[in-house]
Amino acid sequence: MSTIQLNNNTKIPVLGLGTWQSSPEEVYTAVLHALKTGYRHIDTAFAYDNEESIGRAIHDSGIPRDELFITTKLWCTYHQVPQEGLKESLKRLGLEYVDLYLMHWPVPLNPKGNDPKFPTLPDGNRDIVEGWDFVKTWEKMQELVGNGTKSVGVSNFDVENLERLLEAPSTKIVPVANQVELHPHLPQHKLLKFAKAKGIVLEAYSPLGSTNSPLLTEPELVKIAEKYQVSTATILISWAIWRGTVVLPKSITPKRIESNFKTVKLDDVDGKTIDDLHKTIGIKRFINPNWYPVTVFHGDE
């Protein structure tokens, strides 16, 4: 399994199993099957409600812990106490450490609101903590390195928010990774260039275009898939690797888990064709929750 070197000299396997929207029952067999297939990188989050099953599958696989790369994420209602968020995730996972702990979204939510995960205000908008922001959260997350996680990073950060984070005097550690939505409808070339220049690895979530993806039948991608005699999904995963990102395809289907693991080395000409595909098929962001009044995505570049 090939790896990418992170800015703290640890390594991350380029391909990992995504688990968002995998129920606890589904995810147990999916993770076990993925580990049998050869995956060594599993991506989860407190908010996915499946950490406990994933922990059990890891344990039952019998694979030594140091051969695995496990990521989980700090949920928004824990922004003021990331050490508690991590502690609770480790307990659910049944692990002593994770390899990577990510700030899931750059928005703190009220931990004492009307819902433990998605507290809302009477007007329906999310109940956001005033007077706190992700720079303060990051200040605290930095202390977690060596205390339950090997590395820390962020998720759903655009260039503007990354710049703010990196310029803050309290920022001593550059995030090792930024996990964002990436696929041919949302290649985010500008963000990728910026992240590479700063030594931040981008991780692609929803690399297939999420559930019922229109990309799987996109004629240009189907044509490239025919050239390599593989599925369109394999082309999407291989393109993510070709452009230097980590890629996290989600599946609970054994056959797909297996085929998603067999990537191909794309010719540059095909990689560049896919790079430019958004010019004809258009830009589409599939995951864009309402964080009003906070702007999370200032653009789609």
Please report how close the Cβ of residue 209 comes to ligand A2P at its closest, in angstroms: 5
Nearer residue to ligand A2P within complex by CB, 150 or 250: 250
d(CA 263, CA 1): 11
> Which of the ranges 50-58, 149-157, 172-180, 249-257 carries the binding residues for ligand A2P, by CB under 6 A?
249-257
Please report how close the Cβ of residue 291 comes to ligand A2P at its closest, in angstroms: 20
252 binds ligand A2P (CB under 6 A): yes
d(CA 231, CA 102): 31
Which residue of 44, 137, 206, 245 would you call a contact of ligand A2P, by CB under 6 A?
A: 206
d(CA 94, CA 150): 16
Which residue of 76, 86, 165, 208 would you call a contact of ligand A2P, by CB under 6 A?
A: 208
231 binds ligand A2P (CB under 6 A): yes
> Which of the ranges 44-52, 162-170, 218-226, 247-255 carries the binding residues for ligand A2P, by CB under 6 A?
247-255
> Does 28 participate in catalysis according to the annotation?
no
185 binds ligand A2P (CB under 6 A): no
Q: Which is catalytic among the residues 39, 48, 78, 101?
A: 48
Q: What angle do CA 293, 296, 301 make, to 5 degrees?
A: 135
Which residue of 133, 209, 225, 235 would you call a contact of ligand A2P, by CB under 6 A?
A: 209
187 binds ligand A2P (CB under 6 A): no
d(CA 28, CA 61): 10
Query: Could you list the active site residues?
Result: 48
